[in-house]
Structure 1
Amino acid sequence: MADIAADGYVPERDESGALTTVDGTPLKISLRKSQRRAKRRAFYLVVPLLAFLFITFTIPIVGMIVRSVYNPEVANYLPETSAAIGDWDGEELPPEKVFAAMAADMEVGLENRTIGRAAGRINREIPGARSLVMGTARHVDEMQPPYREAFLEEDEDWSDLELWRLLKRETRLITPAYYLLALDFEYTPRGDIVERPEIYQVYRLLFIRTAWMSIVITGACLLLGYPVAHLLATLPLRTSNLLMILVLLPFWTSLLVRTSAWMVLLQQEGVVNDLLVWAGIINDNGRIRMIYNQLGTIIAMTHILLPFMILPLYSVMKTIPPSYMRAARSLGANQFTAFVKVYMPLTIPGLAAGVLLVFILAIGYYITPALVGGESGIFISNLIASNMQGTSAQLKLASALATILLVLVLFFYWLFNKLVGVDRLKFG
């Protein structure tokens, strides 16, 4: 019997009995061509988005990673010295060819005004090195071979092996020095890796503080947002719409205004402390310090990020039929057991999406910790921002810190995927 399409068209068959189109093309081949055309059209539609992401996301991240390890100051501005010092073992004073190469680089550097940049990079590791290099460079045109003796006659500090070891280390175009510094380690002139003194260990503390405070903020958003989302999903439509407007209201207000409002509310002479004094919970001399510390950061950021927890939860809870709870009750479960064993497992996709969204937003937050965090409540992002406005070395350190933060976020995402599974997420 001939195959008849829904519109009454009877497909033709070739000599082998395979279905063909009107022009005689085998139907399978025609379908494959049609699918390829559809895929090409879909790809062309997303090309502008892919290009936008590549230009604004991929290229800056790659540039940040390259900047964090690229160290051209000494290698580019002292090229002859970089080439000559590579074979030096670092145990004795460098040979004559290294001093001769340094003299040649100083002459060129003075003419091109680049010697100061190399000297400045060395000075960050060994204070006083800039004066040594610049002072010698001004008289290098008067020196005669052997340059080794001439340099030592100019200033005996050129006999310092630590200085030459630092020069050798800094001639490498690729260096892990900024990553080591970002983890509170130091890269000695000899090339050894040592831990910084405890008094200078700042970055690891900030990374730990950023991670645990982000976890606390995420937990607070979950504890506050879950009941609100459940209320929105179960109330009558008219009432739930009114409450939804209240949830979305913070989005209509500037982030800076919301944070400034918390500064007014939480200060020791602010509204919250006044209410506690009026209620007799505390006396006027025992006002609580809730601003410019970790508590202020947690409160303000929990309020700001709470809608990002409520909305994914609400979108999932709204799809759960109320009959499930009634069925559990009819089978003998009490209200609490039915909620825990029937309702809560069904909300895991929205819960997981909210947790992931709030945590990733919190770990990279900048404005709120900067305004209300004080010294003890700032995040690593605040330190990255301050270094971005500094010298070239500070910019490299900021790039290293930002790269480590990116790796930390990816690690938490991988861990979350292992425990929960991103395929279960439901954002709306």
Structure 2
Amino acid sequence: MSNSKDDDAVAGPVPVAPVDAGPVLAADGTPLKRSLGRALRRQKGRALLLIAPLLIFVLVTFIIPIGSMLFRSVENDIVANTLPYAVQELASWDAASGELPSEAVYKAMYDDLFVATEAKKHTRLGSRLNYEQTGISSLFRQSGRKVDDLAKDAAKALEDAVPAFENGETWYALMDAGDGEGNTTLLKNTRGRIGRLNDGPASADMDFVPSAEIAALLPRTARTYTEWAIFEVTDAERVPTNRAPWELVSLALLEELKTADLSGLSGERAALLQQAQAVDFEIPSYTDTFAEIDQDWANVTAWETLQTHSAKYTAGYFLNAIDAQKTPDGFAWQPEEKQILLTLFGRTLVMSLMITGSCILLGYPVAWLLANLPASRANLLMILVLLPFWTSLLVRTSAWKVMLQSQGVINDVLVWIGLVDDADRLVMINNQFGTIVAMTHILLPFMILPMYSVMQTVPPTYLRAAKSLGATNWTAFWRVYFPQSIPGIGAGSILVFILSIGYYITPEIVGGTKGVFISNRIAYHISSSLNWGLAAALGSILLAVVLVLYWCYDRIVGIDNVKLG
């Protein structure tokens, strides 16, 4: 007989048929997974709404302004917007040929420069190009004063021969479509240019519409009159209906009428234009006109500068930031006497590291005392550490200037105790030493506080345990205490280094010519030279350097090891 227990052991457990229970449902009958997902999304949405005001504030007041400023490092639309027709004609000119541009380029330049002078933008354009070629600013300034001489002669000849052109109503009736269905493309394109010239959109309240018939017959005249009409509305805020236009319009009309076919016109317009066509006015070469205005226009250098820097986006500012320049032939280094920025970058990095190191050496003992002294003494010492925050930065820096100068307190004490001869006083101001001393004093609290907050978390029992196992005081400190304080050193070092690399007030006051940082040049270009493009490029490079160093620190030390307590 077989044993039933043995049979069960051989057969194993009896299989149970799977039961299809379906998805787990919530109380409202929806699948639990979907219900949990919906609740999680609602929770995240409420959390986002709570921080939305802060995010919007940071975006509007921090990210957008900084992004806009950094964008200036590649933005270069002033040349293309101010001289659009000249830039278009210059595109086909070969600067390497050594020959001057064609007559068409000079003609387009005359129109653009005339309009820019009326809009008072020619000096700004000259200032921009003066960053690339010294002296070109005065060229544009002088040319702006003389560019309208030819146009004035043309306007006088036209008005003397046909007195009707003295009235603004005559011009308006000649150029306006009347029925409102004129050359809207010309109006739109011109509005865009005038809007850019005046740093704002053109007015929408524009009753004038250039005549399609006149625009086809006299395109330059119609374009120039339209530019003037929009300029009157947007900039001068005057109605162009009864005002005489720019003299440039008269010049363009007389020039185009010399070859225009008026046979297709009839009525008052035809009669008026036929009278103007009969005016005897000899228009000189625009090349000769510019040569008479200034001989530099008869040199290819000015035109090369215009062509090289006419693109809407440029790498020229970044090249200038590394002591190079953009030339018609490509990349080139600045003259040796102008190569200063790379030196300043190197000096900024080296001195910032030295300041960080000096803050570590001076701040570590103070932080250790703060963390290990009794509470009453530690509180008094903390007040002394925080005391500099209650004093103006300018006052602290000026105090160091008084103390470090040749006749200052420190030199007087050294002379009094006999360590320094009165004739050989130490030079401690207007150099790198003065900058390091002053900035170390200013940034020292930023190093002490992170180290103190970390040291406070180190249990003192660790040191006693190490000593009980036979370690000396130095071994206990170096093997047990110091490794646990490294996160505080890292946090303080990052804070001090980033602050020091961007300081400019202290180096400006105590650094002289040998102790200034690259940030001083950034401040100079923003407030004095107004070369915001170069300042933005220098700031972008400085930001990139800081991010690279931060990445290296993260790879070597690990940012996760940085703690503030």
| TM-score bin, normalised by smaller chain | 0.7 to 0.9
Structure number with larger C-alpha Rg: 2
Q: Which runs of structure 2 are paired with 1:56-95 in the superposition (5 Å)? A: 56-90=61-95, 91=97, 92-95=99-102
Out of 300, 320, 331, which is 2:458 matched to? 320
1:386-407 per-position Cα deviation (integer Å, ceiling 9, x unaligned): 2212354x22222222222212
CA contact (8 A) 1:178 1:400 kept: yes
Distance in 1 (CA, whole Å) between partners of 2:292 and 2:444 is 69
Do the aligned residues in 1 keep the contact of 2:308 with 2:326 (CA within 8 Å)? no
Moved more, 298-307 or 34-43: 34-43
Describe the SS at the equivalent of 1:375. coil
Separation of aligned partners in 1, 2:148 and 2:510: 50
Deviating more after overlay: 378-387 vs 352-361:
378-387
**Deviation at 1:329?**
2.5
Cα shift at 1:426: 0.9
Aligned counterparts of 1:192 and 1:283: Cα–Cα separation in 2: 56
Match of 2:121 among 114, 118, 132: 114
Is the contact made by 1:64 and 1:403 (CA closer than 8 Å) also made in structure 2?
A: no
Q: Does 1:412 align with 2:549?
A: yes
CA RMSD between the two structures: 2.5
**Gaps spanning 5+ residues in structure 2: where?**
1-19, 155-281
1:106–1:140 Cα contact (<8 Å) kept: no
Task: Check the 8 A contact 2:446/2:496 in 1, yes or no.
Answer: yes
Q: Is the contact made by 1:273 and 1:287 (CA closer than 8 Å) also made in structure 2?
A: yes
- Aligned residue number for residue 137 of structure 1: 147
Quote the residue 2:336 is aligned against. 198
Classify 1:95/1:35 alpha carbon distance in 2 versus 1 (closer, same or farther; 3 Å): same
Structure 2 CA distance for aligned equivalents of residues 225 and 78 of structure 1: 58
Following superposition, the deviation at residue 140 of structure 1 comes to 4.1
- What are the within-5 Å matches in structure 2 for residues 205-284 of structure 1? 205-284=343-422
The answer for the alignment partner of 1:375 in structure 2 is 513
Using the size of structure 2 for normalisation, the TM-score is: 0.68
2-structure distance, mates of 1:44, 1:198: 56
Range with bigger deviation, 352-361 or 380-389: 380-389
Give 1:7's aligned residue: none
Matches of 1:395 and 1:53 in 2, distance apart?
A: 23
Question: Given the alignment of the two structures, is residue 395 of structure 1 paired with residue 532 of structure 2, yes or no?
Answer: yes
State which drifts further: 134-143 or 286-295: 134-143
Q: Secondary structure at the match of 1:194?
A: strand
Percent of pairs identical after alignment? Answer: 50
Partners of 1:266 and 1:178 lie apart in 2 by 38
Q: 2-side partners of 1:347 and 1:108: how far apart?
A: 67
Question: Is this contact kept in 2: 1:123–1:129, CA < 8 A?
Answer: no
Structure 2 vs 1, CA of residues 111 and 253 (structure 1 numbering), >3 Å: closer, same or farther? closer
CA distance in 2, matches of 1:112, 1:245: 59
Distance in 2, Cα, partners of 1:241 & 1:17: 66
Change in CA separation of 1:272 and 1:328 when aligned onto 2, cut-off 3 Å? same
Alpha carbons of 1:80 and 1:271: their partners in 2 closer, same or farther (altered >3 Å)? same
Structure 1 residue 106, shift from structure 2 partner: 3.1
1:406 is paired with a residue whose SS is helix
**CA shift for structure 1 position 306:** 0.8
Q: Which amino acid aligns with 1:360?
A: I
- What secondary structure sits across from 1:74 in the alignment? helix
1:365-415, CA deviations, whole angstroms, 9 ceiling, x for partnerless residues? Answer: 1221122222211211122112212354x2222222222221222122112
1:177 shift after superposition: 1.7
Please state if 1:424 is matched with 2:561.
Answer: yes
Q: Deviations over 1:146-199 (max 9, x none)?
A: 5445545766543322222111112211122222112111223x2432111222
Question: What is the alpha-carbon distance in structure 2 between the residues aligned to residue 266 and residue 119 of structure 1?
Answer: 44
For 1:289, the equivalent position in structure 2 comes to 427
Structure 1, unmatched stretches of 5+, are 1-14
Residues 49, 191 of structure 1: CA spacing in aligned structure 2 closer, same or farther, 3 A cutoff? farther
Between Structure 1 and Structure 2, how many residues are aligned?
A: 412
**Partners of 1:248 and 1:307 within 8 A in 2:** yes
TM-score between both structures, scaled by the size of structure 1: 0.88
Shift of 1:25: 4.9
Q: Contact 1:226–1:313 (CA<8 Å) still a contact in 2?
A: yes
1:237 deviates by 2.0
Q: 2:122 touches 2:141 (CA, 8 Å); kept in 1?
A: no
The offset of 1:330, in angstroms, is: 2.9
Partners of 2:501 and 2:129 in 1: how far apart?
A: 34
Q: More deviation in 329-338 or 364-373?
A: 329-338
Q: What SS does the aligned partner of 2:94 have?
A: coil
